[in-house]
Amino acid sequence: MGRHHLQIPARAERIDVEPYACLARYYDEVMDHVDYKGWANFVSRVVKRHGRKFSRGIDFACGTGMLARHMTGHGYDMVGVDGSVQMIEKARKLKGKRGHSLEFQVCDLRELPMVPRQQLVLCLYDSLNYIMDEEGVADFFRVAHSLLEQDGLLIIDLSTDANSRFHFSDYVIEEQVEGASYRRVSRYDTNRRIQHNVFNIYPDDEEVVYVEHHKQKIWEVAAVIDIMMGEGFRVDAVYHEMTFRRGDEESDRVHIVAEPV
Ligand SMILES: C[S@@+](CC[C@H](N)C(=O)[O-])C[C@H]1O[C@@H](n2cnc3c(N)ncnc32)[C@H](O)[C@@H]1O
């Protein structure tokens, strides 16, 4: 079931690459349905709702930097970090809005980036789902804790089991983007709670197919909250899909707001 039925090229040379190594070139177009401006607006409303007035933040697993850029439009100086060199190369082309600074670094989620302490730490759009083990998730929270000022906030999201079961258990899409066509095949391993997304990317100007196998752990919301609390956070709210309704395992995505204690 695809949005468009394309004639995907037949290519014999297959090159396996790390997630986002090739997709980075086309990511913004592949994600053009994502309302990053709306996400930034939501984040800024969450901060106000939780009684804070911030002007500095860091976005972990920032990808091509779209959310961080929109945060500068809300009066934030932003740093974005991501583990993918190719995603950060794209992000570095962006400029902050209204004179606010926007910087990017390559850094794994589980490692401390070279930045000053922050008021706001973000990790959004299913990025924490890329961390496959509890130890790694704990490492991220430890990093976030050591970066946050005392009155700071952490906002993360998680894609849920419901999202994978209902939308990505057996899903195929083929699309044409500028400079390439691609096929994404998604399968959900319900037993191991692993979401598999395999991207086959056919650049127009190369006679090869790049293959990226993305694996995401579909964490139980309660399990992640336990890990967070173990790393010194208090959870202030769990929101349902960018609203202020209470989120739970029935939500496609939950946003968790926490503060260091
Ligand atoms: C679904 S994308 C989301 C990107 C961005 N937050 C957005 O909203 O467009 C997931 C991102 O997580 C990054 N990522 C995955 N595992 C990572 C890790 N261990 N350390 C740092 N970044 C990671 C990927 O490189 C990718 O940019």
Strands (E), 139-252: 148-159, 170-177, 180-189, 194-203, 208-217, 233-240
For residues 188 and 75, state if they share a domain. no
Instruction: Decide: helix, strand or coil at residue 182.
Output: strand
For residues 17 and 63, state if they share a domain. no
Instruction: Measure Cα distances from 244 to 62, 77, 223, 255 in Å.
Output: 23, 25, 22, 10
Centre of ligand 1 to C-alpha 127, Å, is 5
* pLDDT at residue 29 tops 90: yes
Could you give the angle at which helices 134-147 and 221-230 cross, rounded to 10 degrees? 50
pLDDT at 7: 80
> Is position 6 within any domain?
no
> Is position 5 within any domain?
no
> 199 CB under 6 A from ligand 1?
no
For residues 105 and 184, state if they share a domain. no
For residues 143 and 65, state if they share a domain. yes
Domain of 43 in residue numbering reads as 29-159+220-260
Strands (E), 44-179: 56-60, 77-82, 102-106, 118-123, 148-159, 170-177
> Is position 88 within any domain?
yes
pLDDT band with cut points at 50, 70 and 90 for residue 14 = very high
For range 121-146, the mean pLDDT: 98
> 139 CB under 6 A from ligand 1?
no
For range 169-185, the mean pLDDT: 96
Number of folded domains that form the chain? 2
Residues 215 and 233: their CA atoms lie apart, in Å, by 27
Instruction: Decide: helix, strand or coil at residue 33.
Output: coil
**Greater model confidence, 9 or 92:** 92
- Ligand 1 atom at shortest distance from the alpha carbon of 124: 6
CATH number at residue 195: 2.20.25
For range 159-180, the mean pLDDT: 96
Centre of ligand 1 to C-alpha 19, Å, is 9
For residues 226 and 149, state if they share a domain. yes
